[in-house]
Amino acid sequence: MGAGSLDYKEQSQKIERYTGGLGMGVHLSPAASNIQVYEQALHLSSFCLTKNLTEMFSLWTDIFTQ
């Protein structure tokens, strides 16, 4: 699965070229007010060199908007 105008291979190459990887995970935790209710969150992680910061955020933007 790619994003926007990129197919899977192109997107994978850009992620490898500009970042140390992009990661996603689900986080569940009990709500503070009621232990029978859980709060859900999406945990995003990535890292890169400072010079590649703009490109890394561009990759995330493409994933979520296209």
The phi and psi torsions of 55 (rounded to 5 degrees) equal -65, -40
The strand pair at 22-30 and 38-46 is best described as antiparallel
**Cβ-contact 20, 52 below 8 angstroms:** no
Instruction: Tell me the pLDDT of the chain averaged across its residues.
Output: 90
d(CA 44, CA 25): 7
The helix/strand/coil state of 26 is strand
The helix/strand/coil state of 39 is strand
pLDDT digits (tens, 9 = 90+) for 35-44: 889 989 999 9
The helix/strand/coil state of 51 is helix
pLDDT digits (tens, 9 = 90+) for 6-25: 888 999 999 999 999 999 99
- For the whole model, what pTM was predicted? 0.76
Q: Domain residue spans in the chain? A: 8-65
